[in-house]
Structure 1
């Protein structure tokens, strides 16, 4: 159980409540991170503003060469390195859905070099893992493989910023004892049942 109680949605400021209800409508449940961070509304707003700018750049009028699957792959892989259960499970679910591959999240969380992903994605994750674990060792030689795979400097910023932001998120989830919602575990593992016509 979480070390810090989840916020009561009915006690939250209107803007937080509206956003959380919007997420609930779309997902069918409220991911624990939304209520876990809502105990501090100013931090919640800052966190999700940066999250959305990184994970959905179109929402802030910016284009990107990273797909939604690429972004979730970075989060899942680096969160595994940081041993963050919440982010591996939650973002692994989104990765499976965006990539339409039920095994990919488990593969990249354990060993992305043996995962069923492209060489481009492996180069992306090599860089992300160096940012995650040894950012002080980065030099110009780390950028060349990314350029060779068609990433431009803005894409490389995205890879690094996503990695860094989720390093923060991983640590908040871990120290607070935040657990993933049960719904995340099965998402994207089995084909969706078709609704009757």
Structure 2
């Protein structure tokens, strides 16, 4: 599950067992610091509330891919599959979002998210101008940055402690899993 020893029981687990039917591996790790997990939940909720959920999930998937976080990539691919796309559409997005039939605004947002995830210090005024050209205002752009940087934090934590994706993600389409787990042929966006 992780490089760290995690508690067998925690007050955090019961709600997850009730809601999901299992305790996610990330929660087992964060049970070592429940107050950090609670703060993470509040911050994540504040960021998500500021943007369309589909856009948030596309941005998060892009960031997770760039960061090499199979756990986060699989988790957010599962949300996209459950709520927004069918198997073929999701496979296409994961393989190459630029050639997946997405709206030009979605492609621009995902390209920007990839750039922020890869190197936030390399983002330029021109990168922001491209999003403005697609109709995003400054609040929308900040929301994308917040979502990516939120993912940089969480993916970094999970990767650094060796948290493995939960078996529930085995039900995702094999092609999607292969790409997000790093065993498929598609390279990260922008590569």
Residue 124 of structure 1, aligned match among 96, 109, 113: 109
Q: Who is 1:195 aligned against?
A: none
More divergent stretch after superposition (164-173 vs 142-151): 142-151
- Name the structure 1 match of 2:8: 8
State the secondary structure of the residue aligned to 2:96. Answer: helix
Aligned counterpart for 1:26 among listed residues 1, 19, 23: 19
Say which is worse superposed, 24-33 or 129-138, in terms of deviation: 24-33
Deviations 1:124-178 (A, max 9, x none): 0111111111322222211222122222111111100110111111111111111
Pair 1:36 & 2:29 matched: yes
Partner of 1:180: 165
The Cα RMSD (Å) is: 2.2
Partner residue of 1:149?
A: 134
Higher relative contact order, chain-length normalized (CA < 8 Å, sep 6+): 2
Give unmatched runs, 5+ long, in structure 2: 175-191
Deviations along 1:81-112, whole A, 9 cap, x unmatched? Answer: 11111111111111212213224444444432
How far off is 1:78 after superposition? 1.2
- Are the equivalent residues in 2 in contact too, given 1:96–1:188 (CA < 8 A)? no
Separation in 1 of the partners of 2:17 and 2:52?
Answer: 24
Aligned-partner Cα distance in 2 for 1:171–1:40: 16
Q: 2:75 aligns with which of 90, 113, 122?
A: 90
2:160 equivalent to 1:160? no
Report the secondary structure of 1:29's partner residue. coil
Runs of 5+ unmatched residues, structure 1: 58-63, 190-197
**Alignment TM-score, normalising by the size of structure 2:** 0.80
**What corresponds to 1:137 in structure 2?**
122
State the match for 2:44 in structure 1. 51
**How far apart, CA to CA, are the structure 2 residues paired with 1:176 and 1:34?**
12
Aligned residues: 174
Contact 1:32-1:181 within 8 A present in 2 as well: yes
TM-score by length of 1: 0.77
Paired with 1:25 and 1:104, the residues of 2 have a C-alpha distance of: 31
